[in-house]
Structure 1
Amino acid sequence: MHRPSILRTLVCLVVLGSTASMLAAPPGPVDWVNPLIGTASGKIGYGGTMPFVTPPFGMTDWTPQTRQNKISVVSYNYDDKTISGFIGTHQPAIWMGDYGYVTLMPEIGDLKTTPDERKLPFTHADEIAHPDFYSVRMDAGGGKQIRSEMTATERCSYMRFTFPANTPSRILIEASRAGHAGSVHVDAANHEITGYNPDRMDAHLGPAALKNFKGYFVVQFRQAFQKANTYGMDDAQASHARGAYAGFAPSTGKQVIELRVGTSFISIEQARENLKKEIPEWNFEAVRQALRDKWQAKLDRIGLQGASDEERGTVYTAAYHALLYPRIFSEYGRYYSAFDDTVHQGESYTAYSIWDTFRAENSLLTLLAPERVDGMITALLQNYREGGWMPKWPNPGYTNIMIGTHADSLVAEAIRKGFHGFDRDLAWKAVYKDAMTPPDGDTTRRWADREPHTPYEARGGLTYYKELGYIPTDKTAEASSRTLEDSYDDWCVAQVAKALGKEKDYQFFLHRSLNDRHLYNPADGLMRGKTSDGKWAAADAGWTEGTAWVYTWAPLHDEAGILELMGGDAAYNAKLDQHFAGGHNVHSNEPSHHYGYLYDFSGEPWKTQAKVREIALAEYAGQPVGLDGDDDCGQMSAWYLFTAFGIYPVNPASGDYMIGSPMFSRMSLRLANGKQFTVIADHNSSANVYIQSATLNGKPLTKPVIRYEDIMAGSTLHFVMGPETSHWAANWRAQAIQ
């Protein structure tokens, strides 16, 4: 299915009754976004995405609910045929849980409270999905239809439901599901239903019991109720879902019920205040236009020429996905902290999938949303102050998912790129603790993946890492991967120390960042785990979601060192050839994301040029099934965007961007400093993937790398492409850490 053209989009809007004011809006990049990309399973894979209506980094996302979400299941799946609600969700990824959510559903006929009872059939032909607007017609039976429309603000939603004539209508509000003691209250005099949901689906993963956690909501109706009541509230054990409904008298014509929903993690009063600030008037079109303008302002910074309609949709949808996370978690100067269960003054963010996003997503945000970076780093440092550590995967508190302390990379990258709006001394204390303080019970726990009710994991096995120079597979789970990723984090801590003038610490951590080399096994030319007695472990021992093939090149900071260990260019390239030929490169999972770019380090950049084009073609498309692997809070999408530009941050904290093969004839990025970074690729095509020559600002570029400063200066990177390999940049080599 190709992404519809702008003309077809506008026609669809007319058919489905969009307003004249929206039709008058000039087309732009937002029109190319297809939020359904990644929502279906098929030949490419399954992206686990949802068609969110929300602004960039919105606190609450709004989506139709075709299935009950939980850990490993998201609310919307393209292959489903029915809708059971419209949910304000905070679930950031398929393998994470939701928390503090609220669900609404229009109904006619008898009261139906369970998802199976209330679900209604729909078809994709009756569905419109845009970042600023979602609409669907559902079959309510007996030849009757209910139309549902949604738009949103940062913390709120505006919904509009159109019911058939001469039919009593009802809006159901589900505050919480079975087993969770949520609460709901009806205030008919003020046309308002309020409540809260205390559910945190992944509460078992973190160390903290959050007694004060609740997701609060306020639902305000434009029309007066004919009848309203609660349900499930008399069940003390909460074995039934708890919620409320508002009923409305029938109308001789189609009846339109409008409502607005405010959400908060502070209080019902704050949810009401959020509504007052964000949706002060009953004007659906104005709210939608404001949301459209926010997306347009961001997406319009990316210029694109030489792309097909489908490719254009893939590019701008990737940007949409990348601009969703991390999400804002503060409410006009205050925020609830899931790290000490208290409300604080300040700005906060959550949903950092850092093990995934430190690789490219965070680097993209430094270019596409630099105004957010200081606040995002500050939020991590606040988490450190409130809970004792920077988190690795807050949702919204500690979850102990994945390995390493890659917040160290985010801090190092922000400092390397000159961001100053956070406390650098506090940042040093946070990264130093990550690197030097083992977690509680470090030598008595295995730190198994998603082990429930453990203390914060930090760098599990750090005790052994400090003593032996590696983490032994017989003592700590995922030890081999941990050793390699901790080595990279040590390099990042070294960079923070250097920037702050801590020369002794810089040298210490720089030297310790070479611990990755302790796992190199010359017998098979791959990394391999070791046991506590210094012996080689089994080849498959100690890896995280991968194998030795996936992790051998994992030390992002030490590719030149790995090349030396392997015996030079020829051996390094031959091993990479084996990696790809053997099917070891699993792009749907993040440890493989930089592998296509590694030939840049070893004198065969033309192989990088062909490989990254091949991966992009195989793993991405402008279709519901157009994303392989969970998008992981924008990381999959960020990889595609960088690759489309022809660059990629193999070591994100270094400020270096390795050269790949630009996918289009011209791409540009309008920077926050008013300048523009431009990539031009003459003679570009699906066959002309090889760089014949390159210039940077008119001067010959003879190495396959540019720097952050080159981008921020508003440079022009100009390539001449061709169908044959060339020896452009074949003589460049990176310096190994000594």
Structure 2
Amino acid sequence: MRKSLLLFVIAASPMFAQRDAVSYVNPLIGTEKSALGYGGTMPFVTPPFGMTNWTPQTRQNKISVTSYNYDDATVSGFIGTHQPAIWMGDYGYVTVVPQVGPLRIAANERAMPMRHENEKAQPDRYSVILSAGDHGNLRAELTATTRCAMFRFTFPSDITARVLVEASRPGVAGGAFLSPRAGEISGYNADRMDSHLGPMKLPNFKGYFVVQFETAPLKTETYGMEQTGDQASRGAYAEFAPGSSLLMRVGTSFLSVDQARENIRREIPGWDFETAAQRLRAAWNEKLSAIQVEGATDAEKSRLYTALYHALLYPRTFSEYGRYYSAFDDQIHTGESYTAFSIWDTFRAENSLLTLLVPERIDGMITALLQDFREGGWMPKWPNPSYTNIMIATHADSLVAEAFRKGFHGFDRELAWNAVYKDAMTPPDGDTARRWLDREEHTPYEARAGLTYYKQLGFIPTDTTDESASNTLEDSYDDWCVAQVARLTGREEDYQFFLHRSLNNRSLYNPAIGLMNGRKSDGTWAPLGSSEDTLENRSRAGWTEGDAWAYTWSALHDQAGLLALMGGAAAYDSKLDQHFSGGHNVHRNEPSHHYGYLYDFGGQPWKTQAMVRSIAAKEYAAGPGGLDGDDDCGQMSAWLLFTALGFYPVNPASGDYMIGSPLYARITLRLANGKQLQVEAENNSATNVYIQSATLNAKPLTVPLITWEQIQAGASLHFVMGPRPSTWASAWRAAPIVAKVSQ
């Protein structure tokens, strides 16, 4: 064999083939309870932003319980789920269960043992070998499209094969029906686990499904349908010959059974499992390959690309080929829609990441929020798929302002102004008659709880409203966002009004302790509370899932103002030192995500560089237990991705990104406009975390930030790294906000 031919053969062999981005993704990261986290993600098989996510089901999911947990040793089915996060509920789901032997309907009875060494989880497919006891093994494989899934089941050869389709659990309305079409089961599930957390009654809501088999069943039957009430589990099953290798397609819809069938026709028209899986893999590779990294180990690439996979799951598509069901007026409309906006989490960095990676979707996402406003009266804060009143403030204002700031134009800008103006000026129904407790049930839409007092006093009192201090601080940021929308739509008077009101955060600064502090109605300081308090007590003291330390730096738009309140840069940096050394930085919860980057404002950027490196190393790993907390619809992952790039959007609606310390020797971001951002970190290592010098397009960079415009123009950002702090960018200061009251 000629030498050149031999080299070609070696290079073409699987051992030497270049790995694609999908091969580094490990969807099991974050599924195991560990010292780092509690297992809040699931190994979803779905395209980016898929409407229905498919996962093996190791336990019955509900609010605070996900369908899959790595610690479990059995699989009770495969669920088409819409549960976006562990703290949220599911809705309109359907479960399919392969089984042999006696018909077993209850989840604990139908569960089959599995071992993780016989499990393979990827974004484009999932496979597992399940034990069928004395009959040997049952192999299950699945792949998916935006609204559909395809399964391949290989059954033991000595016993009748069965596929059970669970339409609804006990206590849930729903049912399955045997279609007059050969080899088809259809039905619906009307469950919304979060329905008690919001004001909407949705009598028309249903999650529809159609199940089609390539091979005609020997027998089909329904079960539970004859029982009255909702106390029975309902569904259907189909039986097949022993040893069957069975292909099955499942379509889902929120419009109708006919639309679920149409979704199958559009998305999986044939019966070729491998082709369907290859298409899904190509869809993921197209998005994942937008980031290329050099100088990273395989484990680091797994951590990085899994974070990117997580960041591209939400918000989820909620429209079906030009139509969508609205969970805000219970009607079907024409247009494009999205849901699962975990906005209190994702406004911080996840949304900013999407503007870079999938700008083609931003107009549709903003339009979806504006449609919710038009149909339900408000933009939502956590739609799942309707109002849930979970978390605080109206950070959809930030998403709208960021879209304006970054030049997106494919949405109704006048409607956007009306939506953010209502958020800022209209208190929720019964505002002064309620404390607006965390996850209070059956309330009107919360919007900005306590806005009545905020407008009168400049803060929300702790003795009238729960989570009042956090609300005051986050409302101030949202006011700044509304001001930006006013400015960019030519409303100068409104701009000045909201810019001035955005400084209300300063009213909570208590100089005696150097921290933000809730106030009572008479203006006196409220008890500060502590991180050791229960969530209820912290809420009464004014805080949302945190304390004064977690919220003192939370006014994303006014760090220069806070620096002045604290007495200057030295005092500001010293207080940050106390925050970190005192164990107050809780990275698994979002209010502190920008804190590591704040030394940039205080003239000590080398501390930012060391801190963000430390957080990245401590809070993220490549195994099933490698995520602190849950991913919160991409926000935890977005923090890591931005940190890997070397910058972070402290104020996401500003278009500025603060410089940190890039994690790798070189990382390249391919932009949708055909250009790219290349970040090089010369001499980068685990110890060389400090920036010695920096250039942008070969010109000295002397400020610790890069802008949206610089990124979009395509750029080369070059750092020289070293083992010791340097004075690079230490002279930079952010300009304080100066606002006047409109006359």
Q: TM-score, normalised by structure 1?
A: 0.96
In structure 2, what is the equivalent of residue 408 of structure 1? 397
* Cα distance between partner residues in 1 of 2:477 and 2:127: 46
Shift of 1:186: 1.1
Matching of residue 382 in structure 1 with residue 374 in structure 2? no
Alignment match, 1:243: 235
Q: 1:9-408 residue pairs with structure 2 within 5 A?
A: 27-187=19-179, 189-250=181-242, 254-408=243-397
Structure 2: unaligned runs, 5 residues or longer? 1-13, 530-540, 739-743
Matched, 1:533 2:522: yes
Q: Which residue of 1 aligns with 2:671?
A: 671
More deviation in 143-152 or 578-587?
143-152
Residues 188 and 228 of structure 1 are in contact (CA less than 8 Å); yes or no, is this contact kept in structure 2? no
- Residue 238 of structure 1: CA displacement? 2.1
Partner of 2:492: 503
SS of residue matched to 2:372: helix
What does the per-residue CA deviation read over 1:106-160, in whole Å, with 9 as the maximum and x for residues that have no partner?
0100000000000000011000100000000000101511000000000000001
The runs of 4+ residues in structure 1 deviating greater than 6 Å are 22-26
Given that 2:138 and 2:155 are in contact with CA atoms closer than 8 Å, whether structure 1 keeps it comes out as: yes
Q: Deviations over 1:77-109 (max 9, x none)?
A: 001000000000000000000000000010100
Quote the offset at 1:531 in angstroms: 0.5
Q: Residue type of the partner of 1:660?
A: G
Separation in 2 of the partners of 1:502 and 1:469?
22
Residue 602 of structure 1: SS of its match in structure 2? coil
Number of the residue aligned with 2:644? 644
Instruction: Report the 3-state secondary structure (helix = DSSP H, G, I; strand = E; otherwise coil) of the residue aligned with 1:678.
Output: strand
**Which shifted more, 430-439 or 160-169?**
160-169
Matched-pair contact (CA < 8 Å) for 1:330–1:346:
yes
Q: Is the Cα–Cα contact under 8 Å of residues 58 and 324 in structure 1 kept in the other structure?
A: yes
Q: CA deviation at 1:164?
A: 1.0
Identical positions, percent: 70
Cα pair distance change 1:622/1:336, threshold 3 Å: same
Whether contact under 8 Å (2:135, 2:156) holds in the other structure is: no
The one-character-per-residue Cα deviations of 1:345-365 (angstroms, maximum 9, x if unpaired) are: 000000000000000000000
Contact 1:147 1:163 in 2 (8 A): yes
Supply the AA of the counterpart residue of 1:224: A
The aligned counterpart of 1:421 is 410
Who is 2:538 aligned against? none
The answer to whether the 8 Å contact 1:151/1:158 transfers is: yes
Query: What corresponds to 1:478 in structure 2?
Result: 467
Give 1:650-665 correspondences, 5 Å limit. 650-665=650-665
The 1:189/1:166 distance shift into structure 2, 3 A limit, reads farther
Q: Give me the whole-angstrom Cα distance separating, in 2, the residues matched to 1:397 and 1:276.
A: 28
> In the alignment, what sits opposite 1:461?
450
Alignment partner, residue 516 of structure 1 = 505
Write the distance in 1 (CA, Å) between the matches of 2:124 and 2:318.
20
Partner SS, residue 222 of structure 2: strand
Distance change (3 Å), C-alpha of 1:569 and 1:729: same
What is the TM-score normalised by the length of structure 2? 0.95
Q: 143-152 vs 520-529, which deviates more?
A: 143-152
**CA separation of 1:587/1:264 partners in 2, compared to 1, >3 Å: closer, same or farther?**
same
> Aligned partners of 2:718 and 2:499: how far apart in 1?
35
1:201 Cα shift?
0.4
Contact 1:69 1:75 in 2 (8 A): yes
What is the DSSP-based 3-state SS (H/G/I as helix, E as strand, rest coil) of the residue aligned with 1:443? helix
**CA drift at 1:181:** 1.9
- Describe the SS at the equivalent of 2:84: coil
Cα distance in structure 1, aligned partners of 2:37 and 2:29: 11
Which residue in the other structure is 1:681 paired with? 681
Could you say which residue in structure 1 is the equivalent of 2:574? Answer: 574
* Structure 1 residue matching 2:679: 3-state secondary structure: strand
Match of residue 602 from structure 1: 602
Q: Is 1:623 aligned to 2:638, yes or no? A: no
Amino acid paired to 1:597? Y
Please tell me whether the aligned partners of residues 39 and 69 of structure 2 are also in contact (alpha carbons under 8 angstroms).
no
Tell me if the contact between 1:563 and 1:569 (Cα under 8 Å) persists in the aligned partners. Answer: yes
1:28 Cα deviation after fit: 0.7
Provide the C-alpha distance between the structure 2 equivalents of 1:605 and 1:495, rounded to a whole number of angstroms.
28
Q: Letter of the 1:168 partner, please give it.
A: T
Paired residue secondary structure (2:493): helix
Residues 735 and 363 of structure 1: is their aligned pair in 2 closer, same or farther, counting only changes over 3 Å? same
Change in 2 beyond 3 A, CA 1:378/1:656: same
Query: Contact 1:55–1:291 (CA<8 Å) still a contact in 2?
Result: yes
CA apart distance, 1:41 = 1.1
Q: How far does residue 46 in structure 1 lie from its aligned partner after superposition?
A: 2.6
Give the aligned residue type for 2:350. Answer: E
Contact 1:188–1:225 (Cα < 8 Å) also in 2: no
Report the Cα offset of residue 597 of structure 1.
Answer: 0.3
Q: Distance in 2 between matches of 1:95 and 1:43?
A: 20
Q: CA RMSD in A?
A: 1.2
Question: What code does the residue aligned with 2:122 have?
Answer: H
* Deviation string, structure 1 residues 299-323 (Cα, Å, up to 9, x no partner): 1110100001100000000000000
One-letter amino acid matched to 1:206 = G
Aligned match of 1:558? 558
Q: Which residue of 1 aligns with 2:533?
A: none
What one-letter code is carried by the residue in structure 1 that aligns with 2:23? D
Corresponding residue of 1:711: 711
Structure 1 residue ranges without an equivalent (≥5): 1-21
How many residues align? The count is 715
**Contact 1:188-1:224 within 8 A present in 2 as well:** no
Q: Write the distance in 2 (CA, Å) between the matches of 1:604 and 1:548.
A: 23
Q: Tell me the alpha carbon deviations over residues 684-737 of structure 1, each in whole angstroms, 9 at most, x when there is no partner.
A: 000000000000000000010010111111101100000001000000000111
CA gap 1:458/1:242 in 2 versus in 1, 3 angstroms: same
Tell me, in whole angstroms, the C-alpha distance in 2 between the residues paired with 1:26 and 1:295: 16
Q: Indicate the residue corresponding to 1:6 in structure 2.
A: none
Matches of 1:47 and 1:656, distance apart in 2: 33
For residues 731 and 724 of structure 1, the distance between their equivalents in structure 2, rounded to whole angstroms, comes to 18
CA deviation map 1:640-673 (0-9, x unaligned): 0000011000000000000000000000110000
The CA deviation at 1:491 is: 0.1
Equivalent residue letter for 1:333: G
Aligned match of 1:699: 699
SS in 2 for 1:543: coil
Deviation at 1:630, TM superposition (A): 1.3
